[in-house]
Structure 1
Amino acid sequence: MVSILDSSSRNLQKLIEQLLDYNRKQADSAVELENVELAPLWRQWFLLIACPHGLK
C-alpha cells in the first residue's frame, strides 16, 4: 500500500512540474501547436498507472 502511494505521489509530482513548466513557457511566448502521437502516451500511462494497480 505504501509503495502504491509513493509511486502515485511521484507521478503526481512529475505532472505538476510539467504543468508549471508549461505555464512558464506559455507566459513567456505564444503557444505553438504540434501534432502528437497519442498511442505512446497512452502506453506510458497504462504502464505507469494501470498495470501497477492491477487494471489490466
Structure 2
Amino acid sequence: MSKIDSQLQEMKESVQSDLRHQLTLLIRPMQQALEAAMQHYDADLQKRLAKSGERPNGHA
C-alpha cells in the first residue's frame, strides 16, 4: 500500500503546476482511503498480537 501512496505522490509532483490542484483533488480521496486502510490493518494487527500474547517481532 505504501508503494501506491508513493506512486500517487509522484503523479502529483510530475504534472504541471496548473493541473496539480485538479489532480490533488482527485488523488486526495484515494490517499485518505489508503491511510484509513493502513490504520485499520495496524490496529487489527495490534489487537491480534495482544490477544495471542505475542510481540510484533514474533517472540512470545
Q: TM-score, normalised by structure 2?
A: 0.46
Greater RCO structure (CA 8 Å; 6+ sep): 1
Rg: which structure is higher?
2
Tell me which protein shows more helix as a share of its residues.
2
